[in-house]
Structure 1
Amino acid sequence: MADEHAQQIANLRQSFFDQQLLNEKFFRTEEIDIGLPGFLEDFYCTYFREAERLVVTLKLELHGPPFDVESIELYLHEFRSNTKSAGAVKVLTQIGRCIECSSALDFAGCLACLEEASTEMKYLKRQLKNYFRLIRQGPPTVIDDCPDFGDESSSEE
């Protein structure tokens, strides 16, 4: 039973990378959790709380005119920085598109990309909730299998 549970956890972790939801930063943060139990979940709860705040703020900014380009850029870069730290690959890709649109003064396009980023973020949040639920049911004693991260070049933007 314990082996089956550990395998479920390992499979779910690997799916994060296979689906390109998360990159190696998740694994690095997870290693910290071994010494500080609960760190990983707290880290991602904080990330999602801040990311959701930024999405709401950006949506308000993008429903101009007038558009405060400087504020929009500032919020987008903060969102990108936080997301990069979390290793949320698909969210990061959409934020990059938001930044491109904002730079081109395409605020409708920026808003559309922000909606996509928000959708990707909500999906990731659901997947991580499932993961943390499994961990709370009884974590494996040691996380000894390093996920296959795939192509490292696609994990950073």
Structure 2
Amino acid sequence: TASDIKKIARLKTTIALCAEAVGAMESLLRQTVEYTKTRKQFGQPISNFQVLQHMMADMFISQSTSYEMLKGISLKISKDDEYLSYEREILLLKHKINKESKFVRHSAVQCHGGIATTDELLLGHYLKRLVVIDNYFGGPHMDRGRINRAVA
């Protein structure tokens, strides 16, 4: 039916957005690690500070977890008609990836400082794109509503 076709298109787009978000998180992590190696404070690279090391380790865990969840759901779906049977899992995936990307975004800004939000750094563009992905199809509140309807 037309409703199913529309729903399948939305689910495919959701998976594509999740993949883009995972790639953006990977880029944010890579840029953050590089920046902390070159930025010096108190006569040493800020990557030597334990709090930043822990923050970047948590960023890595968030990105890796998101990647593995995306890979897991992507490997399960091979035909269009299977998207509908995995609707709940796809919606939960987007919700979880949005949550993880929010943490990675916040951590990247914390490690970089105010320069992270400028257009001069590629990082700033990734931050903005992740906010757009988070709000695609109506944002987190709409996502939770869709998840609730898919469960019922």
TM-score (norm 2): 0.37
TM-score (norm 1): 0.36
Give the structure with the higher percent helix. 2
